[in-house]
A and B are shown apart, each in its own frame.
Chain A
Protein backbone atom coordinates (compact mmCIF):
# COMPACT_ATOMS: atom_id res chain seq x y z
CA UNK A 1 0.00 0.00 0.00
CA UNK A 2 1.36 3.40 -0.90
CA UNK A 3 0.94 6.57 1.12
CA UNK A 4 -0.41 9.40 -0.98
CA UNK A 5 1.40 12.71 -0.79
CA UNK A 6 -0.72 15.68 0.12
CA UNK A 7 -1.33 17.96 -2.85
CA UNK A 8 -0.40 20.92 -0.71
CA UNK A 9 3.04 19.56 -0.16
CA UNK A 10 4.79 22.79 -1.02
CA UNK A 11 2.83 24.67 1.57
CA UNK A 12 3.35 21.81 3.98
CA UNK A 13 7.11 22.24 3.70
CA UNK A 14 6.86 25.66 5.29
CA UNK A 15 4.51 24.33 7.94
CA UNK A 16 6.88 21.48 8.72
CA UNK A 17 9.86 23.83 9.01
CA UNK A 18 8.03 26.05 11.49
CA UNK A 19 6.50 23.25 13.53
CA UNK A 20 9.78 21.32 13.73
CA UNK A 21 11.62 24.40 14.88
CA UNK A 22 9.05 25.34 17.48
CA UNK A 23 8.94 21.77 18.79
CA UNK A 24 12.39 22.46 20.21
CA UNK A 25 11.67 25.80 21.85
CA UNK A 26 9.35 28.83 21.66
CA UNK A 27 10.63 31.52 19.30
CA UNK A 28 9.40 34.83 17.97
CA UNK A 29 8.89 35.67 14.28
CA UNK A 30 12.30 37.15 13.51
CA UNK A 31 14.06 34.32 15.35
CA UNK A 32 12.03 31.74 13.44
CA UNK A 33 13.05 33.26 10.10
CA UNK A 34 16.67 33.58 11.21
CA UNK A 35 16.88 30.05 12.58
CA UNK A 36 15.31 28.51 9.46
CA UNK A 37 17.82 30.33 7.30
CA UNK A 38 20.78 29.41 9.52
CA UNK A 39 19.79 25.79 10.14
CA UNK A 40 19.14 25.18 6.43
CA UNK A 41 22.49 26.67 5.51
CA UNK A 42 20.77 29.54 3.73
CA UNK A 43 18.80 27.23 1.42
CA UNK A 44 15.46 28.13 2.99
CA UNK A 45 14.55 31.72 3.65
CA UNK A 46 11.36 33.11 5.07
CA UNK A 47 10.53 36.72 4.43
CA UNK A 48 8.18 38.75 6.55
CA UNK A 49 5.48 38.63 3.86
CA UNK A 50 5.29 34.85 3.88
CA UNK A 51 6.22 34.12 7.49
CA UNK A 52 3.54 36.02 9.40
CA UNK A 53 0.49 34.96 7.37
CA UNK A 54 1.70 31.38 7.87
CA UNK A 55 2.16 31.88 11.63
CA UNK A 56 -1.30 33.42 11.99
CA UNK A 57 -2.87 30.64 9.99
CA UNK A 58 -1.20 27.97 12.08
CA UNK A 59 -2.30 29.82 15.19
CA UNK A 60 -5.85 30.02 13.87
CA UNK A 61 -5.80 26.25 13.33
CA UNK A 62 -4.73 25.85 16.94
CA UNK A 63 -1.35 24.34 16.12
CA UNK A 64 0.62 27.28 17.56
CA UNK A 65 0.05 29.65 20.41
CA UNK A 66 1.45 33.16 20.41
CA UNK A 67 2.23 34.96 23.63
CA UNK A 68 3.84 38.33 24.29
CA UNK A 69 7.03 38.00 26.27
CA UNK A 70 10.10 40.13 26.72
CA UNK A 71 13.12 38.93 24.75
CA UNK A 72 16.73 38.97 25.90
CA UNK A 73 17.00 42.65 25.03
CA UNK A 74 13.93 43.36 27.18
CA UNK A 75 11.70 44.10 24.19
CA UNK A 76 8.23 42.65 23.93
CA UNK A 77 8.06 40.04 21.22
CA UNK A 78 5.37 37.53 20.38
CA UNK A 79 6.75 34.10 21.14
CA UNK A 80 5.20 31.15 19.37
CA UNK A 81 5.05 27.71 20.92
CA UNK A 82 3.60 24.45 19.74
CA UNK A 83 0.25 23.43 21.19
CA UNK A 84 -0.71 19.84 21.93
CA UNK A 85 -2.59 19.78 18.60
CA UNK A 86 0.49 21.13 16.81
CA UNK A 87 2.62 18.37 18.33
CA UNK A 88 0.15 15.77 17.13
CA UNK A 89 0.25 17.23 13.61
CA UNK A 90 4.03 17.27 13.46
CA UNK A 91 4.50 13.49 13.38
CA UNK A 92 2.24 12.84 10.33
CA UNK A 93 3.81 15.81 8.54
CA UNK A 94 7.27 14.35 9.10
CA UNK A 95 6.08 10.95 7.81
CA UNK A 96 4.53 12.57 4.75
CA UNK A 97 7.76 14.34 3.91
CA UNK A 98 9.77 11.18 4.43
CA UNK A 99 7.52 9.39 1.95
CA UNK A 100 7.86 12.32 -0.45
CA UNK A 101 11.65 12.26 -0.36
CA UNK A 102 11.75 8.47 -0.64
CA UNK A 103 9.54 8.72 -3.71
CA UNK A 104 11.77 11.40 -5.21
CA UNK A 105 14.81 9.32 -4.36
CA UNK A 106 13.39 6.30 -6.19
CA UNK A 107 12.54 8.48 -9.18
CA UNK A 108 15.51 10.76 -9.44
CA UNK A 109 18.05 9.64 -6.89
CA UNK A 110 17.90 13.02 -5.23
CA UNK A 111 19.28 11.95 -1.86
CA UNK A 112 22.20 10.14 -3.46
CA UNK A 113 23.00 13.02 -5.80
Chain B
Protein backbone atom coordinates (compact mmCIF):
# COMPACT_ATOMS: atom_id res chain seq x y z
CA UNK B 1 0.00 0.00 0.00
CA UNK B 2 1.19 3.46 -0.67
CA UNK B 3 -0.06 6.65 0.87
CA UNK B 4 -3.30 7.88 -0.64
CA UNK B 5 -3.93 11.60 -0.51
CA UNK B 6 -7.60 11.94 -1.40
CA UNK B 7 -10.15 11.81 1.41
CA UNK B 8 -13.72 12.29 0.21
CA UNK B 9 -16.51 13.70 2.36
CA UNK B 10 -18.58 11.14 4.31
CA UNK B 11 -21.49 10.54 1.92
CA UNK B 12 -19.39 10.60 -1.25
CA UNK B 13 -16.89 8.42 0.52
CA UNK B 14 -19.56 5.73 0.85
CA UNK B 15 -20.54 6.08 -2.82
CA UNK B 16 -16.89 5.90 -3.90
CA UNK B 17 -16.29 2.88 -1.70
CA UNK B 18 -19.35 0.98 -2.94
CA UNK B 19 -18.50 1.87 -6.54
CA UNK B 20 -15.00 0.49 -5.97
CA UNK B 21 -16.49 -2.69 -4.55
CA UNK B 22 -18.75 -3.15 -7.60
CA UNK B 23 -15.79 -2.46 -9.86
CA UNK B 24 -13.73 -5.14 -8.10
CA UNK B 25 -16.68 -7.54 -8.22
CA UNK B 26 -17.05 -7.07 -11.97
CA UNK B 27 -13.35 -7.58 -12.54
CA UNK B 28 -13.28 -10.75 -10.44
CA UNK B 29 -16.27 -12.16 -12.32
CA UNK B 30 -14.77 -11.29 -15.68
CA UNK B 31 -11.53 -12.96 -14.64
CA UNK B 32 -13.61 -16.10 -14.05
CA UNK B 33 -14.83 -15.86 -17.64
CA UNK B 34 -18.20 -14.23 -17.02
CA UNK B 35 -19.36 -11.88 -19.79
CA UNK B 36 -19.29 -8.15 -19.15
CA UNK B 37 -23.06 -7.64 -19.09
CA UNK B 38 -23.63 -10.57 -16.75
CA UNK B 39 -20.74 -9.49 -14.52
CA UNK B 40 -22.29 -6.03 -14.14
CA UNK B 41 -25.72 -7.50 -13.38
CA UNK B 42 -24.34 -9.94 -10.83
CA UNK B 43 -22.25 -7.26 -9.15
CA UNK B 44 -25.22 -4.90 -8.87
CA UNK B 45 -27.30 -7.81 -7.61
CA UNK B 46 -25.07 -7.95 -4.50
CA UNK B 47 -27.49 -5.43 -3.02
CA UNK B 48 -31.04 -6.43 -3.82
CA UNK B 49 -32.49 -3.26 -2.33
CA UNK B 50 -30.29 -0.18 -2.60
CA UNK B 51 -32.69 1.99 -0.61
CA UNK B 52 -32.61 -0.49 2.26
CA UNK B 53 -28.82 -0.55 2.04
CA UNK B 54 -28.69 3.26 2.18
CA UNK B 55 -30.90 3.18 5.31
CA UNK B 56 -28.72 0.52 6.93
CA UNK B 57 -25.59 2.51 6.18
CA UNK B 58 -27.09 5.70 7.58
CA UNK B 59 -28.12 3.84 10.73
CA UNK B 60 -24.67 2.30 11.06
CA UNK B 61 -22.97 5.67 10.61
CA UNK B 62 -25.22 7.31 13.19
CA UNK B 63 -24.38 4.69 15.77
CA UNK B 64 -26.50 3.93 18.81
CA UNK B 65 -28.18 7.01 20.24
CA UNK B 66 -26.96 9.29 17.49
CA UNK B 67 -29.10 12.10 16.16
CA UNK B 68 -30.61 11.69 12.77
CA UNK B 69 -29.96 14.17 9.99
CA UNK B 70 -33.32 15.91 10.27
CA UNK B 71 -32.73 16.60 13.96
CA UNK B 72 -29.32 18.10 13.31
CA UNK B 73 -30.29 19.99 10.17
CA UNK B 74 -33.80 21.22 11.02
CA UNK B 75 -35.08 20.71 14.57
CA UNK B 76 -32.02 21.86 16.52
CA UNK B 77 -31.26 24.92 14.33
CA UNK B 78 -35.00 25.74 14.27
CA UNK B 79 -35.28 25.48 18.04
CA UNK B 80 -32.13 27.56 18.44
CA UNK B 81 -33.57 30.38 16.30
CA UNK B 82 -36.94 30.11 18.05
CA UNK B 83 -35.29 30.28 21.47
CA UNK B 84 -33.10 33.20 20.42
CA UNK B 85 -36.11 35.11 19.05
CA UNK B 86 -38.23 34.48 22.14
CA UNK B 87 -35.45 35.31 24.60
CA UNK B 88 -34.89 38.54 22.72
CA UNK B 89 -38.59 39.41 22.85
CA UNK B 90 -38.68 38.60 26.55
CA UNK B 91 -35.63 40.74 27.27
CA UNK B 92 -36.99 43.63 25.21
CA UNK B 93 -40.37 43.40 26.94
CA UNK B 94 -38.70 43.66 30.35
CA UNK B 95 -36.30 46.38 29.32
CA UNK B 96 -38.68 48.56 27.34
CA UNK B 97 -41.49 50.90 28.40
CA UNK B 98 -44.13 49.11 30.39
CA UNK B 99 -47.74 49.55 29.26
CA UNK B 100 -48.90 50.76 32.66
CA UNK B 101 -46.38 53.61 32.59
CA UNK B 102 -47.40 55.06 29.25
CA UNK B 103 -50.91 53.77 28.86
CA UNK B 104 -52.64 57.14 29.01
CA UNK B 105 -50.22 58.88 26.71
CA UNK B 106 -50.04 55.94 24.34
CA UNK B 107 -53.75 55.92 23.72
CA UNK B 108 -53.88 59.61 22.85
CA UNK B 109 -50.54 60.16 21.17
CA UNK B 110 -49.46 56.87 19.59
CA UNK B 111 -51.60 53.82 20.15
CA UNK B 112 -49.54 50.89 21.34
CA UNK B 113 -46.37 52.91 21.96
CA UNK B 114 -45.34 50.70 24.86
CA UNK B 115 -45.75 47.60 22.77
CA UNK B 116 -43.91 49.18 19.85
CA UNK B 117 -40.91 49.89 22.08
CA UNK B 118 -40.35 46.14 22.39
CA UNK B 119 -41.80 45.14 19.05
CA UNK B 120 -39.74 47.30 16.71
CA UNK B 121 -36.29 46.22 17.99
CA UNK B 122 -37.53 42.63 17.97
CA UNK B 123 -38.54 42.88 14.29
CA UNK B 124 -35.28 44.63 13.50
CA UNK B 125 -33.34 41.76 15.09
CA UNK B 126 -35.15 39.04 13.12
CA UNK B 127 -32.52 38.89 10.33
CA UNK B 128 -29.96 37.86 12.95
CA UNK B 129 -32.30 35.21 14.31
CA UNK B 130 -33.00 33.86 10.82
CA UNK B 131 -29.31 33.89 10.01
CA UNK B 132 -28.59 31.88 13.15
CA UNK B 133 -31.08 29.14 12.20
CA UNK B 134 -29.98 28.96 8.57
CA UNK B 135 -26.29 28.99 9.50
CA UNK B 136 -26.66 26.20 12.05
CA UNK B 137 -28.56 24.12 9.50
CA UNK B 138 -25.92 24.82 6.86
CA UNK B 139 -23.21 23.85 9.33
CA UNK B 140 -24.97 20.54 9.97
CA UNK B 141 -25.03 19.87 6.21
CA UNK B 142 -28.67 20.82 5.66
CA UNK B 143 -29.93 21.37 2.12
CA UNK B 144 -31.50 24.61 0.94
CA UNK B 145 -35.01 23.66 2.06
CA UNK B 146 -33.74 22.67 5.53
CA UNK B 147 -31.80 25.93 5.86
CA UNK B 148 -34.88 27.93 4.85
CA UNK B 149 -37.15 26.08 7.28
CA UNK B 150 -34.62 26.43 10.11
CA UNK B 151 -34.29 30.15 9.40
CA UNK B 152 -38.06 30.72 9.26
CA UNK B 153 -38.82 28.38 12.15
CA UNK B 154 -39.85 31.10 14.66
CA UNK B 155 -42.38 32.47 12.15
CA UNK B 156 -43.71 28.99 11.39
CA UNK B 157 -44.32 28.47 15.11
CA UNK B 158 -45.84 31.95 15.45
CA UNK B 159 -48.13 31.26 12.49
CA UNK B 160 -49.21 27.98 14.07
CA UNK B 161 -49.98 29.85 17.31
CA UNK B 162 -52.09 32.49 15.59
CA UNK B 163 -53.73 30.19 13.07
CA UNK B 164 -54.30 27.14 15.23
CA UNK B 165 -53.68 27.35 18.95
CA UNK B 166 -55.26 30.74 19.69
CA UNK B 167 -58.49 30.03 17.72
CA UNK B 168 -58.63 26.52 19.18
CA UNK B 169 -58.23 27.89 22.70
CA UNK B 170 -60.92 30.50 21.98
CA UNK B 171 -63.24 27.83 20.64
CA UNK B 172 -62.73 25.62 23.69
CA UNK B 173 -62.92 28.35 26.31
CA UNK B 174 -65.93 30.12 24.82
CA UNK B 175 -66.31 33.53 23.13
CA UNK B 176 -63.23 35.59 23.92
CA UNK B 177 -61.55 38.47 22.17
CA UNK B 178 -60.77 36.34 19.11
CA UNK B 179 -64.44 35.96 18.29
CA UNK B 180 -65.42 39.39 19.60
CA UNK B 181 -62.74 41.27 17.65
CA UNK B 182 -61.88 39.22 14.56
CA UNK B 183 -60.32 42.22 12.78
CA UNK B 184 -57.91 42.84 15.65
CA UNK B 185 -57.11 39.15 15.70
CA UNK B 186 -56.22 39.15 12.00
CA UNK B 187 -54.23 42.38 12.38
CA UNK B 188 -52.39 40.87 15.34
CA UNK B 189 -51.57 37.74 13.39
CA UNK B 190 -50.28 39.78 10.46
CA UNK B 191 -48.24 42.08 12.72
CA UNK B 192 -46.57 39.18 14.57
CA UNK B 193 -45.98 36.94 11.56
CA UNK B 194 -45.44 38.97 8.37
CA UNK B 195 -42.70 41.47 9.37
CA UNK B 196 -40.85 38.80 11.36
CA UNK B 197 -41.00 36.43 8.39
CA UNK B 198 -39.52 39.10 6.13
CA UNK B 199 -36.73 39.71 8.64
CA UNK B 200 -36.00 36.01 9.09
CA UNK B 201 -35.99 35.48 5.34
CA UNK B 202 -33.60 38.38 4.91
CA UNK B 203 -31.22 36.86 7.44
CA UNK B 204 -31.50 33.38 5.92
CA UNK B 205 -30.88 34.51 2.34
CA UNK B 206 -27.06 34.59 2.51
CA UNK B 207 -27.10 30.93 3.55
CA UNK B 208 -29.55 29.77 0.89
CA UNK B 209 -27.34 30.56 -2.07
CA UNK B 210 -24.24 28.82 -0.83
CA UNK B 211 -23.55 25.21 -1.72
CA UNK B 212 -24.03 22.31 0.61
CA UNK B 213 -20.96 21.90 2.81
CA UNK B 214 -20.62 18.19 2.12
CA UNK B 215 -21.03 18.32 -1.64
CA UNK B 216 -18.55 21.20 -1.86
CA UNK B 217 -16.00 19.22 0.15
CA UNK B 218 -16.71 16.09 -1.84
CA UNK B 219 -16.05 17.78 -5.15
CA UNK B 220 -12.72 18.99 -3.90
CA UNK B 221 -11.63 15.73 -2.37
CA UNK B 222 -13.13 12.90 -4.44
CA UNK B 223 -10.56 10.16 -4.98
CA UNK B 224 -9.15 9.89 -8.46
CA UNK B 225 -10.91 7.18 -10.43
CA UNK B 226 -8.63 5.04 -12.52
User: What class of interface size applies to chain B in its complex with A?
Assistant: 35 or more
**Main secondary structure on B side of the interface with A:** helix
Query: Which partner residue on chain B sits nearest A71 by CB separation?
Result: B1
- Indicate the member of B24, B49, B62 with the most A CB atoms within 10 Å: B24
| CB <8 Å contact, B53 and A57 | no
Residue of A49, A73, A75 near B46 (CB, 8 A) is A49
A34, B225: Cα distance in complex, Å:
22
A-B contact count (CB 8 A): 90
Q: How big is chain A's contact interface, by range? A: 20 to 34
| A48 contacts partner chain B, Cβ-Cβ < 8 Å | yes
Contact partner of B47 (CB less than 8 A), chosen from A28, A30, A49, A73, is A49
Verify if B68 is at the interface (C-beta below 8 Å from A). no
**A52 with B17, Cβ < 8 A, contacts A69-B3, A74-B226 known:** yes
* Alpha-carbon separation in the docked complex, A7 to B20 (Å): 34
B residues near A60, Cβ cutoff 8 Å: 60-63
CB neighbors of B among A52-97 (8 A): 52-54, 56-57, 60-61, 67-71, 73-79
Q: Which of A34, A48, A53 contacts B59 (CB 8 A)?
A: A53
Q: Considering the complex, give the chain A residue whose CB is closest to the CB of B8.
A: A68
Q: Which of A76, A77, A79 contacts B224 (CB under 8 A)?
A: A76
